[in-house]
Chain A
Amino acid sequence: MFVNSLNGIIYGSFLALTSLGLSLVFGLGRVVNFAHGVLYALGGYFFIIFLPSLGWGAMVFAPLVVVPLAIAMEWLTIAPIRNRDEIYTLLVTFGLSFMITGAIEYLWGTETTLIKPPVIFQGTVDILGNQFPVYRLFASALSLVVTGLVFVFIQYTPVGLKIRAITDDSEMAEALGINTRWLLTSIFGGAAGFAAFAGALGAPIFSVEPEMGMGIIIDSFLAVILGGLGHLPGTAVGAFIVALAKSIGGGYIAEWAIAVLFLVVAAIMVLRPRGVFGRGRIA
């Protein structure tokens, strides 16, 4: 039970990082980015590709490769449909996630790769009588720090102020002279970078395989809806709720827990469409 909760918290800190980007992009541009998960997967793949030559610097380098890819993706496929119904962003990014998963399988095969954590983090620590890998704790702490930095950025910088303005009322923000178009592209890139970083950081824990992005995107959606689409603190809390619900119980009880979780999320969408905290928005 204790180990399961701890694992839940660790998964939750990764999920927070990916859901945050999803929530941010939705809040900013009303873009439902289904391809967010495969950007996470690309992060993991570029990480294992760069690992032999760059060592652990690959963890920084992998996101740096994914960001321009994501920006190109936004430019080519999402920007042209900005004037169409929002649902088209969902359709296009769903197709993109198919493409990228297919490309990953084509280029790098369907095998699952598990990386050993770096030497200094290879031991285990004793927590209340349970042996726990150090790397998990380190990675979880690091992704929490990054999540925290994103919050600080959004809350306390001039650019963050613009982002919040657009999320509140994009037409009004545009009327005040904020370049929505440019900000959306860069935030899309930034969110992709964080997803890719999560993928790289998680490689020694969750392993790297082509379908990894498809798995995390659904969990991220759940987290985002629980917390309220576009509401960042809610999103982070939602991520931990989802992760804990999935990890606690173990085995078949957990499977039931997931069924219940989907049911809860469905109920929230109908009864509290602005999320548990009433601060996001869905329609």
Chain B
Amino acid sequence: MAASPEVENLTPEASRARSREVATRVLLAGSALLVLAVPFLGASPFFITLLTEALIFGIWAMSLDLLVGYTGLVSFGHAASFGFATYAAGIFAMNISADFFLSTIVAILAAAAVAFLTGLVVTRLSGIAFAILTLCICQVLFQISVVWRSFTGGLDGLIGVPLPTLFGREVEPGEELYLLTAATLIVCYLLLRRVVESPFGKTLLAIRANEDRAAAIGIDVRRHKLVILVISWMTGGVAGTLFVFLKAGANPMSLYWIESGNILAITILGGIGTLFGPIIGAIGFIFIRDQVTTMYRAWQFSFGLAFVLAVLFMPSGIAGIAERIWRRLWPARS
């Protein structure tokens, strides 16, 4: 929601909307602080590592939300953005420099380059055709990562990626890597918030609503799709970089189409078009999967069921439900 204009005599409705806006900001700032404070609350190392992975998936899911939620492009190959970056960052870190900023920039640029090239083609399409085409492109990258052994390590992937360094100092695994991830998540969230609230972001919503009409009022639909695709892949690339440092390696399975399906399900379950929802979805997914797979064998079945029910009955996801409750707490009309 755009910041309210500075008008002194607000109507009661506008004033209530404004107080909700303020409350939303307080809530977001509070959750950001909470996320940063986790290591100091006596969480176990295992919990910290798991939460690191969850936040990385959160960044990745946010990047997919830009396409699915804000532009109406359902990508079934979004593993490509993440997986490709794990290789780019991993190979760079192993051979040249493990500096976090340099590796991230390399991964972002590599992801942007591939996104631009594929975007020249995929932006011609939308709907089902877009979904299947992105799946095909992702499979091409997967096959290459499996086959080109000398460069990617084949099915074993990259092994022994060093720890990242930050300003010349090595980042310890565990709490330090967690803080780095959490800070990156917050920066990404704030930047993407700016993107979706900008006139450019509003134009994307127009494309989502109706591509033909958007084109008819003079919007260059393909260019907008291309730009958001590149931004989305760059964000996915940030997630991939963090992931390769967390796992100290890259694996071709990060590029497999099932992974694309997982992240799509996470994003939709979390709530598309909210940026915040996909993060919730990712945290929920990583934790429930971890807690559940050991003692509950029907996890995959339940995940599929939850996804089907979400698509059928609550297309706005967890965030949609949360927002409805939130609006009831801060009603626009009393």
Q: Tell me the complex Cα distance, A91–B268, Å.
A: 10
Which chain B residues numbered 134 to 157 have a C-beta less than 8 Å away from chain A?
135-137, 139-140, 143-144, 146-147
Q: How far is the CB of B288 from chain A (nearest CB, A)?
A: 14
B144, A259: Cβ atoms closer than 8 Å = yes
Which chain A residues numbered 76 to 121 have a C-beta less than 8 Å away from chain B?
77, 80-81, 85-88, 90-92, 94-103, 105-106
Q: For the complex, is B131 an interface residue (Cβ under 8 Å from A)?
A: yes
Of the residues B125, B140, B304, contact of A95 by C-beta under 8 Å:
B304
Give the residue name and chain of the A residue nearest to B124 (CB): A270
Which chain B residues numbered 106 to 165 have a C-beta less than 8 Å away from chain A?
121, 124-129, 131-133, 135-137, 139-140, 143-144, 146-147
Q: Tell me the complex Cα distance, A101–B304, Å.
A: 9
| Chain B contact residues: helix, strand, loop or mixed | helix
Give the residue name and chain of the B residue nearest to A91 (CB): B311
Q: Tell me the complex Cα distance, A255–B136, Å.
A: 14
Residues of A near B76 (CB, < 8 A) are 90
Interface range for B: 35 or more
Beyond A87-B131, A221-B132, whether A102 also contacts B139 by CB under 8 A is no
Interface range for A: 35 or more
- Which listed segment binds A: B169-177, B196-204, B293-301? B293-301
Of the residues A77, A86, A99, A218, contact of B312 by C-beta under 8 Å:
A77
Residues of B near A90 (CB, < 8 A) are 74, 76, 128, 131
Residues of A near B312 (CB, < 8 A) are 77, 80-81, 92
Q: With a 10 A CB-CB cut-off, give which of B127, B135, B146, B301 has the most chain A CB atoms.
A: B301
Q: How far is the CB of A245 from chain B (nearest CB, A)?
A: 12
Q: How far is the CB of A83 from chain B (nearest CB, A)?
A: 13
Q: Tell me the complex Cα distance, A102–B124, Å.
A: 36
| Chain A contact residues: helix, strand, loop or mixed | helix
- Which listed segment binds A: B14-22, B212-220, B257-265? B257-265
Of the residues A91, A95, A269, A282, contact of B136 by C-beta under 8 Å:
A269
Q: Tell me the complex Cα distance, A96–B257, Å.
A: 16
A283, B304: Cβ atoms closer than 8 Å = no
B136, A266: Cβ atoms closer than 8 Å = yes
B143, A258: Cβ atoms closer than 8 Å = yes
Q: With a 10 A CB-CB cut-off, give which of B127, B257, B297, B311 has the most chain A CB atoms.
A: B311
What are 7 A-B contacts with C-beta separation under 8 Å?
A: A86-B127, A90-B131, A98-B261, A99-B308, A252-B147, A259-B139, A273-B125
Instruction: Spell out A's residues near B (CB within 8 Å).
Output: 32, 77, 80-81, 85-88, 90-92, 94-103, 105-106, 214, 218, 221-222, 225, 252, 255-256, 258-259, 262-263, 265-266, 269-270, 273, 282-283
Beyond A262-B137, A283-B129, 18 additional pairs, beta carbon < 8 A = A81-B312, A86-B127, A87-B128, A88-B311, A90-B131, A92-B308, A98-B301, A99-B308, A100-B304, A102-B298, A103-B298, A256-B143, A258-B139, A263-B140, A266-B136, A269-B132, A270-B125, A270-B133
